[in-house]
Chain A
């Protein structure tokens, strides 16, 4: 069973206590965005086979949204962090690189 530690209340919550919320760090498209950008924001997903950053809600706990780094191919959890974090934290990156030294964060390119 998947266990994620809620970064707010510190509880190691089992999957049945959590509600999944899909891909994290999506950039909201504002009023200036065109149809294509809005479509990409709404629907197109990385659906990564490997390291995946995703949203979760501690639904049957403190009720707060948080983010998790998880490998969709091995089910390994690299860590969880607060929803207000603009991109995965250094210790998450370190945890991922410990397993996959070649892994490169892609948010540095985007910003």
Chain B
């Protein structure tokens, strides 16, 4: 989206700025103080919240929007994930929304005029037990029916794609894999920044360091949110805050089928390029990709207990690394640079919630658990539709809160295990 305010990014802009010592670059997004009233307030300036705001403006022309954020923009799980993007899900509603997201990611850099470094390098989920072989073959059949291109690949082909892999692991031999050629990674911060810039250009307010302290309702109807920067009236409120969804819902007087746990990731020192696909090993709870800087990015498993500390248990890191060293022996001497945790919001069926709530005009987008990053554009697209119309569109329809009462689970917990 070209804009007068922040300037269109292009090779000509770079050339122009090169001639004037780069003095002409504008801030990517404005830093306003909140007004006392907006049509829509979105809580959470992570990928999902900003994408929701963006598609509200782009698809529905609603730009009287504030995105408020407790910390800093993209400082939660948007900046803490392992940047994997894929859409090879078993259940139809999941495949629909994740594939919508993947398709939007494909053009996102052009759309936002911001390089999100989407890299469709291909993604393989290793089958390391007979159960996984059957499970992934089933997923391939399901994906083909859904129109999502994935294929089952045998170990020989897998070895060609991932030369550093050890197929003959004594505990978990590699028996094949589920391959999605269109899958890959993107620069997670850039996704948030790109959406934020585009939202700011449309005149929306992105307000950081603004914590929600209460939600005012009257007779089951939304009135306003009280924040650390004052009271903000709004017609509609969207809660898009991942790990703290339960806390926000409690302020509005309802409970969610969510439990928050810590998920960890770690990254190694940078090495020469050695692996140009993303590899996930769900049996052993480890996934591995190489960043553009050369670091091996490793995702692990979640803690089993409720946790809000953004640091997880050490033994999960040990388990993940132990398993990955067996499958990728050459990483055994790598030093790890950083390790961190994020608080993920888990639902019982490991599928997200995009829903109306018991309070009229409050909408919730949460429950993405361990796999939210890949869904950001699709999630924002579907959430914008829900907020604008007050009722879910086709992408969000199956992800309502009522599915728990009605027993219509979108059960990805069995299909995908922990790793999403």
Chain A residues near B (Cβ < 8 Å): 1-2, 15-16, 19-20, 22-23, 35-36, 38-40, 42-49, 52, 54, 70, 72-75
**B110 located at the interface, meaning its Cβ lies under 8 Å from any Cβ of chain A in the complex:** no
Task: Give the distance to chain A from B290, nearest Cβ to Cβ, in Å.
Answer: 30
- Number of B interface residues at 8 Å Cβ cutoff, please give it: 21
The contact sample of 11 A-B pairs, CB cut-off 8 A, is: A1-B313, A35-B405, A38-B405, A45-B256, A46-B246, A47-B260, A47-B306, A49-B244, A54-B306, A72-B260, A74-B309
Chain B residues near A (Cβ < 8 Å): 244, 246-247, 255-260, 304-309, 313-315, 348, 404-405
Contact of B255 among A38, A46, A52, A74 (CB under 8 A): A46
Interface pair A45/B255, CB less than 8 Å apart: yes
Within 8 Å CB of A74, what residues of B? 309
Within 8 Å CB of A35, what residues of B? 405
Interface pair A40/B306, CB less than 8 Å apart: no
Within 8 Å CB of A19, what residues of B? 304
Cα(A68)–Cα(B141), bound, Å? 45
Interface pair A44/B256, CB less than 8 Å apart: yes
Within 8 Å CB of B247, what residues of A? 47, 49
Within 8 Å CB of A47, what residues of B? 246-247, 256, 258-260, 306
Cβ-closest chain A residue relative to B402: A39
Cα(A2)–Cα(B261), bound, Å? 14
Interface pair B259/A45, CB less than 8 Å apart: yes
Known interface pairs A1-B314, A45-B246, A45-B255; A20-B304 also in contact (CB < 8 Å): yes
Cα(A48)–Cα(B304), bound, Å? 15
Within 8 Å CB of B405, what residues of A? 35-36, 38-39
Within 8 Å CB of B255, what residues of A? 40, 44-46
Task: Give the distance to chain B from A60, nearest Cβ to Cβ, in Å.
Answer: 13
Question: 9 shortest A-B CB distances, which residue pairs?
Answer: A43-B257, A47-B246, A20-B304, A44-B255, A39-B405, A20-B305, A43-B404, A72-B306, A49-B308
Task: Give the distance to chain A from B331, nearest Cβ to Cβ, in Å.
Answer: 24
Within 8 Å CB of B305, what residues of A? 2, 20, 54, 70, 72
Within 8 Å CB of A44, what residues of B? 255-257
Within 8 Å CB of A23, what residues of B? 259
Interface pair B258/A45, CB less than 8 Å apart: yes
Interface pair A52/B306, CB less than 8 Å apart: yes
Cα(A49)–Cα(B385), bound, Å? 31
Cα(A44)–Cα(B348), bound, Å? 10
Interface pair B314/A45, CB less than 8 Å apart: no
Cα(A72)–Cα(B258), bound, Å? 14
Within 8 Å CB of A43, what residues of B? 257, 348, 404
Interface pair B404/A39, CB less than 8 Å apart: yes
